[in-house]
Chain A
Amino acid sequence: MATRDRPITLRERASVAGRVVLAAGGGYGIAALSAALLSLALPLARPEAVAAATLASFVLMPAIVVAVFAMRSLRRAALMLAGTALVLGSALALAMRGAP
C-alpha cells in the first residue's frame, strides 16, 4: 500500500478512478438489467414480478460496488462485470422476444 512519503502515482489514481466509474456505472447497469430481466422472467403475476425484481435490484447494486472494490485488479473487476452483463443482456434479449 502507498505511504504518504511516496507521492500517489498517476497509475494509482487512474486505477481508483476506473473502479469508481466501474462500480457506479456497472453497479447500476447490472442492477437495471437484472430488474428488466427478472420482471419478465420471474414465474409470478406481472405486477408481482416487477415489484420483486425492482426490490432485488436495490440489493444487487451495493453488492456489485463492494465486489468491484474488493477485486484484486481493475481488469478482473471489469471482466467480471462485462461477463455478468453479457449473460443478463442475452437472457433479456431472449425474454423480450419470448414475451412481446
Chain B
Amino acid sequence: MKGRFRPSMAWLHTWSGLVVGWVLFVIFVTGTASYYRADITRWMRPELVQAAPVAAAELPKAAERAVAYLETHALKARTWFIGMPQPDRPLLDLFWRTRPGAPPGHVLLDPHTGREAMVRDTEGGDFLYRFHYELHLPPLWGRWIVGFCAMIMLVALVSGIVTHKRIFADFFTFRRGKAPRRSFLDAHNVTGVLALPFHLMITYTGVVALTTFYMPWGVTTAYKGDTRAFFAEAGWITTPRPPVGRPAALAPVGPMIAQALATVPERLERLTVTNFGDAGATIVALFEEPHGLAHTPTHIAFDGASGALLEIRGGDLKPAAKTISTLIGLHVAHFADTGLRLLFFLCGVMGSAMVATGLVLWSLARLPKPDATPSFGLRLVQALNIGSIAGLPAAVAVYFLANRLLPLGLADRGEWEIRAFFAAWIVAALIPLARPHRRAWSEMSMLVAGLCLAVVAADIATVEAHPLRRLGEGEALFLWFDGAMLALAALFAFAARKVARHRGPSRSEPRREPVLAAPAERACA
C-alpha cells in the first residue's frame, strides 16, 4: 500500500480472496459437478436408465402430444418450453411460466403416450447447475452475487500472479514435511499455478456467460436497452415476433418438426412456443450445437399459424459475436468428450482445492501464540472455512442420499431433496462450532467420508438394476458414480487421518507480520 507494487498486490490477493472465498468454493464445487450434470440427473432417475431411446421418426408425433397436453393444461401461459426426448432423458420435459412470481409449471411426459411419466420427482443435476450461478436465491440476487465474486476472483488471480517471483518453479515445489503453513502454501501454489490457464479461462468466461446481464450498458446506448434485438441482430436467436392481436389456431407441429429434422443434422433439443392462439404465434426449434468450441446452436423459427419456415439462425456469426459464443462454449465445455471432460473436471477440482487451501492458509498464518486466545475474526474465518469446505460436500452427499431414501410417493419430493441438502449443510456448519477446531476438521472429514460411503450403499440397496446386483450386467453409470463417491470418501478419510495425526502447528516459527499475506512470503524474501 505504500508504493511497493508487489506487497500491495499480495495484500490485495489475501483480502480479496478471503472475503469471497467461501462463495467461490461453493461456485467451484457445484460448477465442477455440473460438468457431469446430465449423468447426475440420470443417476438420480434410475427408473429411466433402462428406457429405450426415442427414434427421430417418433419426434414429430411426440411434439404434437406435448402441444396437446399444454393446450389443455397451460393455456394461460405466455411461453411453452418443450424439451424433446434426449438419449439421457427419453421423455418430454414441459415447462411453462404463467406470470412473474407464480411458480412455473413443469411436467415430464411419456413421448409414446403423451401421459405423465412415472418417474421420481427430482431436480437432479440441474439443482447443482443452477446453484452454481444463482445460489438458490432469486435469480437477480444470485447472479449478481456470483458475478461480483467472479470479478473479485479475477482480481485475486491477477494479483496472485503478480506476487509470484518464480511462478515456473512453483509448479514443482511441494514441501510436505515442513510446517503446515508451508505445505498449504505449496498446495495453494501448485493447484493455483498448474491449472492457472483453466482458472483464468473459467472465471473470465463465467462472467461472459452472463454478459448482458452484468454489463448491459452497451446494449443500453446502442439498442435502447432491447437485449433481444441485440441477440437477434448478432445472429444468436431468431427475430422476436410480437403478438398481432388477432386469434388464430396453431397449425399442427408435426410437419414443422419433420421439416426441421430434415434440415439440420444435429439433435433436436427443445421447442419454444410463443404467442400461441395469436396470429403471431412462433415456434422455434433449438438444436444441439454442432461439434466445435463455439456455443452456436441452430435455431429454426416457424410461423405458428401457417406452419411456414421463417428463418434459420446460428453458425454464421461475425467475429465479436463468435468470440462471445466461443467463450461461453469454453465455459460449458459441451465439446469435451470423455477424456477432455475428465480433464476439465480435474481442473475444477484443483480450483476448488486452490480456494480451500487459500482459505485455510489465511487462518493458519494467523494462529495465535499458545497462550493467547484466538480473535473473533480468526474464529469466524475458521468456522466459515469448515462450514463450507466440509459442509458443502456433506450437503451434496445428503442430497444424493435423499434421492435414494425418500419415499417415492412423497409430495414435492424434489423440493424435499433440496430441503435435505440445506438442512444437512446447516447442521454440518453448526456442529464444528461446539468442538475444538482441529478435532472438528478431522471429525467433519470423517463424516463426509461416511456420507459418501452411505450414498454408495444406498445406491446398491435401492437400485435393482445396479450392476453389482446383476453380476456386472446393466448400466455402467452406477458403477462410475459410485466409484466417484468412493474416491471422494477416500479423499476425505485421508484428510481426516492427516489432521488427526498431525502434532499441531509448530509454534517455533517466528510470526510474520500479518499485513503481508502468506503468498507474498517468498516474493518478498
Contact = CB atoms under 8 A, between A and B. Distances in A.
Contact of B211 (A32, A36, A55): A55
Contacts of B318: 45, 47-48
A46 B221 contact: no
Given A51-B323, A51-B324, A55-B211, A66 B158 contact: yes
B154 interface: yes
B462 interface: no
A99 to B, nearest CB: 8
B221 A54 contact: no
Contacts of A59: 204
B320 A51 contact: yes
Q: Top 8 nearest A-B pairs by Cβ distance? A: A39-B218, A47-B234, A51-B320, A52-B320, A36-B217, A39-B222, A50-B218, A35-B218
Interface in A62-88: 62-63, 65-66, 69-70, 72
| Main secondary structure on B side of the interface with A | helix
A9 interface: no
Contacts of B320: 44, 47-49, 51-52, 55
Interface string B216-249: 0111111100000010011100000000000000
Interface in A4-25: 4, 15-16, 23
B275 interface: no
Given A31-B215, A32-B217, A58-B207, A70 B323 contact: no
Interface stretch (B3-11, B304-312, B415-423, B467-475): B3-11
A51 B234 contact: yes
A36 B218 contact: yes
A58 B204 contact: yes
B199 to A, nearest CB: 13
Interface string B183-214: 00000000000000000000010011001101
B223 A50 contact: yes
Q: Which of A16, A38, A54, A66 has the most CB of B within 10 A?
A: A54
Q: Which of A15, A31, A40, A58 has the most CB of B within 10 A?
A: A58
Given A1-B513, A49-B222, A62-B158, A55 B234 contact: no
B247 to A, nearest CB: 34
A96 B224 CA distance: 11
Contacts of A58: 204, 207-208, 211, 214-215
Given A51-B321, A66-B12, A70-B9, A61 B151 contact: yes
A1 B1 contact: yes
